[in-house]
């Protein structure tokens, strides 16, 4: 805060005070009214100017200053000698400070009304504050009324109008409603604010609720004519006016004090685990909604701490603070933007940890990319297998079947003898070739898996196995890539059992558990299987490409259990 702004504030305070004193002396106002009125206006305008000078980016200073000036004008015009000009200017000014006050409270701490409902409410409040005096200006002639201020009609006076009292009562009722709406909006604001902002907001909110309540009481007293309340209410009005600068001061001090946690942040970051910087910053800044974005210059993208690409953009509900040159960004509650120094301090403190966090995020991002590409390669391989199987089926297999039919025709046409024997031999060879081709196609990609799912495909495998197999599946269809991987796990395991295990019996179980398919092949053979053999290793790779887990438990002499756990996405 510059010393100049303090000086300007002090000069204005003195100026306002002197003006009040002169006018009061002229009107013969009581000493207590004079002291309180002067203090409120002078302090408010000075505070507004000081805030304006020290935080030019925030509109708060402007609002506080305008509020003070309106208050000063309203009081001063009230003190002017009765004149028709004074009455014309003075009446519309009476409620304007209250409207500016409401505007200021709802716009705190940025000075901007972000919320649509808030904006609409403030619009109505300004309109009501200006309109209420219009019927009085046109139709009220207080001549002869001793306790009326002003005591003369305005320049706009046309004539006394009958329903004036009713209109006045209507406005009093409207003011009660607006007062209640204002209190509700303040409470809503507090409830919605992040803890960090709430810490700064609550003193003003408390003062505002008090101010709103006394405004409602004042309007109610006007409406129901409780004249005896007026004196008390006037003092409450003054008190609520004084409460605001105090609340603002507490708010500013709280913001200052909040710099304390930056020290804690530094300590915390010393022990932070990868991925923990966001939480530490969120705690320090009191904004649980805070998001951390890390810039990966090589790839030219923002990622979160898990390495996932994210978009970083400033919106009406999210503000962005950049840390370092191309290092990181904090996406946070826009109300925190008013605490720029705290944000910057926290960002600086976290810089080293953020460098580290970025390396981790980059690594995770590369791992994700690697995992995705591995899954893509396996999927492409599966697609290729399916195509190959289809080609064999539609091409070579069909032609050989045709040849078989032709040979049958030939056999019927040649007499018994050497030629007939040769044809029979050719038919036999052909049948064998077709069987081998069918087995090959089935090994490349089993048609039954696509048509009928894993359960049927495993039962088909079991049917061909030389070792008795008991199959237990729940028959539920799984995603295609999970079914394919599961099928090949079972097929390879059964082939291994047939060749090496010397087993008497095999149990194959497929079940779904916690969103994953669990495939288990357990035999009672000799155990001691080599899990690093190319067949099992290939299966492990295939399962892991789907983020699954693959294990072989094979103690010598106690059978083998192959388990694959594959997430079903």
Partner 1 sequence: MRKRVLIVDDHPTFRRFARRLLQDEGFVVVGEVGDGASALDAVRELVPEVVLLDVMLPDVSGLDLAEVLASVAGAPTVVLTSSRSASDYGTSLEGSSARAFIAKGDLTGAALRAAVTLQ
Residues interacting with partner 1, by CB under 8 A?
A: 393-394, 397-399, 401-402, 404-406, 408-409, 412, 431, 434-435, 438, 442, 446-448, 451-452, 456-457, 459-460, 463-464
Q: Which is nearer to partner 1, 165 or 470 (CB)?
A: 470
Q: Considering beta carbons, is residue 318 or 459 the nearer one to partner 1?
A: 459
Q: b/e per residue, 382-400, with b = 16+ CB within 10 A?
A: beebbeebeebeeeebeee
Shortest Å distance, C-beta 505 to partner 1: 21
Q: Which of 322, 407, 305, 406 is nearest to 356 (CA)?
A: 305
Closer of 154 and 486 to partner 1 (Cβ): 486
**How far, in Å, CA of 215 to CA of 245, rounded?**
18
Q: Please name the helix (run of DSSP H) or strand (run of DSSP E) that holds residue 18, with its range, or none.
A: helix 3-27
Chain Cα centroid distance, residue 534: 47
Burial class (CB in 10 A: 0-12, 13-18, 19+), 485: buried
**CB of 340 or CB of 387, closer to partner 1:** 387
Nearer to partner 1, 452 or 551 (CB): 452
**Distance (Å, whole) CA 20 – CA 235:** 18
**Cβ of residue 444: shortest distance to partner 1, in angstroms?**
13
Residue 40: both structure tokens together: 């409120």
What is the chain's percent helix, strand, coil content, to nearest 5? 65, 10, 25
Token pair 């192959």 in the structure block, residue: 562
- Specify the residue, 31 or 412, whose C-beta has the smaller distance to partner 1: 412
Q: How far is the CB of 519 from partner 1 (least distance, A)?
A: 18
Strand partners of residue 110: none
The two three-digit tokens of residue 177, written as one number: 């409603």
Question: Least distance from C-beta 553 to partner 1, angstroms?
Answer: 30
Least distance between partner 1 and beta carbon 408 (Å): 6
436's tokens: 């081998």
Least distance in angstroms from the C-beta of 482 to partner 1: 18
Which residues on adjacent β-strands are paired with residue 523? Answer: 506
Closer residue to partner 1 in complex, CB, 5/397? 397
What residues pair up with 469 in beta bridges, in sequence order?
Answer: 506
Residue 192 or 470 having the CB closest to partner 1 = 470
Q: Pick between residue 260 and residue 475 the one whose CB is nearest to partner 1.
A: 475
Helical ranges in 150-229 per DSSP H: 164-192, 195-224
CB of 333 to partner 1, least distance (A): 59
Q: State the nearest-atom distance from the C-beta of 411 to partner 1, in Å.
A: 10
| Closer Cβ to partner 1, 297 or 402, answer by number | 402
Nearer to partner 1, 254 or 456 (CB): 456
Parallel, antiparallel or unpaired: strands 506-513 and 469-473: parallel
Q: How near is the Cβ of 499 to partner 1 at its closest, in Å?
A: 21
Residue 274, burial from CB neighbour count under 10 angstroms (0-12, 13-18, 19+): middle
- Nearest distance, CB of residue 486 and partner 1, angstroms: 15
- In whole angstroms, give the CA distance from residue 45 to residue 324: 38
Distance between CA atoms of residues 173 and 220, nearest Å: 7
Q: How far is the C-alpha of 411 from the C-alpha of 425, rounded, in Å?
A: 11
Q: Is the peptide bond before 259 cis (omega within 30 degrees of 0)?
A: no
Crossing angle of helices 230-257 and 31-54, rounded to 10° = 30
CB of 435 within 8 A of CB of 401?
Answer: no
Q: Which residue, 336 or 478, is less far from partner 1 as judged by CB?
A: 478
CA distance 431 to 400: 9
Task: Tell me how far, at minimum, the Cβ of 437 lies from partner 1, in Å.
Answer: 9
CA-CA-CA-CA torsion sign (299, 300, 302, 305) = positive
Least CB distance from residue 488 to partner 1, whole Å? 16
The CB-of-456 to partner 1 minimum distance in angstroms stands at 3
DSSP state of 511: E
Burial label for 76, CB within 10 Å (0-12, 13-18, 19+), is: buried
123 or 443, CB closer to partner 1?
Answer: 443
């Amino acid at each position: 805060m510059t010393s100049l702004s303090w000086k300007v504030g002090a000069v204005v305070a003195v100026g306002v005070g002197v003006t009040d004193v002169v006018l009061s002396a002229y009107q013969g106002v009581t000493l207590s009214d004079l002291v309180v009125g002067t203090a409120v206006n002078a302090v408010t305008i000075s505070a507004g100017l000081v805030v304006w000078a020290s935080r030019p980016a925030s509109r708060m200073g402007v609002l506080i200053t305008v509020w003070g000036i309106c208050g000063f004008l309203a009081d001063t015009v009230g003190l002017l000698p009765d004149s028709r000009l004074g009455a014309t200017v003075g009446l519309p000014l009476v409620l304007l400070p209250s409207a500016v006050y409401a505007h200021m409270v709802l716009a705190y701490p940025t000075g901007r009304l972000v919320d649509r409902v808030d904006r609409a409410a403030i619009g109505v409040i300004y309109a009501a504050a200006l309109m209420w005096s219009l019927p009085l200006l046109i139709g009220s002639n207080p001549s002869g009324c001793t306790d009326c201020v002003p005591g003369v009609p305005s320049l706009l006076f046309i004539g006394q109008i009958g329903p004036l009292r009713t209109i006045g009562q209507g406005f009093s009722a409207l003011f009660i409603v607006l007062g209640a709406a204002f209190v509700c909006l303040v409470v809503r604001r507090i409830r919605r604010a992040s803890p960090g902002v709430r810490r700064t907001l609550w003193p003003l909110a408390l003062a505002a609720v008090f101010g709103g309540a006394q405004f409602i009481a004042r309007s109610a007293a006007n409406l129901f004519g409780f004249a005896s309340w007026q004196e008390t209410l006037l003092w409450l009005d003054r008190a609520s006016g004084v409460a605001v600068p105090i609340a603002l001061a507490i708010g500013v001090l709280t913001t200052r004090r909040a710099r304390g946690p930056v020290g804690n942040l530094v300590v915390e970051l010393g022990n932070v685990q990868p991925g923990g910087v966001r939480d530490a910053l969120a705690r320090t800044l009191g904004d649980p909604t805070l998001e951390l974005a890390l810039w990966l210059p090589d790839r030219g993208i923002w990622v979160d701490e898990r390495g996932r690409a994210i978009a970083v953009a400033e919106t009406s509900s999210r503000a962005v603070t950049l840390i370092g040159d191309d290092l990181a960004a904090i996406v946070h509650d826009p109300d925190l933007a008013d605490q720029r120094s705290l944000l910057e301090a926290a960002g600086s403190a976290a810089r080293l940890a953020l460098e580290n966090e970025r390396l981790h995020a980059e690594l995770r991002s590369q791992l994700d990319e690697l995992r995705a590409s591995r899954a893509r390669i396996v999927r492409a391989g599966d697609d290729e297998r399916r195509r190959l199987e289809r080609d064999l089926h539609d091409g070579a297999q069909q032609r050989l079947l045709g040849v078989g039919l032709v040979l049958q025709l030939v056999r019927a046409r040649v007499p018994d003898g050497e030629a007939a024997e040769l044809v029979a031999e050719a038919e036999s060879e052909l049948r064998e070739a077709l069987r081998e081709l069918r087995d090959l196609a089935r090994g490349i990609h089993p048609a039954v898996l696509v048509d009928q799912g894993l359960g049927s495909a495993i039962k088909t495998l079991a049917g061909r196995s030389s070792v008795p197999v008991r199959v237990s599946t729940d028959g539920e269809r799984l995603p295609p890539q999970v079914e394919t991987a599961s099928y090949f796990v079972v097929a390879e395991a059964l082939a291994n059992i047939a060749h090496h295990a010397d087993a008497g019996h095999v149990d194959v179980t497929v079940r779904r558990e916690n969103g994953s398919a669990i495939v288990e092949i357990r035999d009672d053979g000799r155990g001691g299987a080599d899990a690093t053999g190319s067949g099992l290793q290939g299966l492990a790779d295939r399962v892991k490409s789907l983020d699954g887990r693959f294990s072989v438990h094979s103690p010598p002499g106690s059978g083998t259990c192959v388990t694959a756990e594959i997430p079903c996405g």
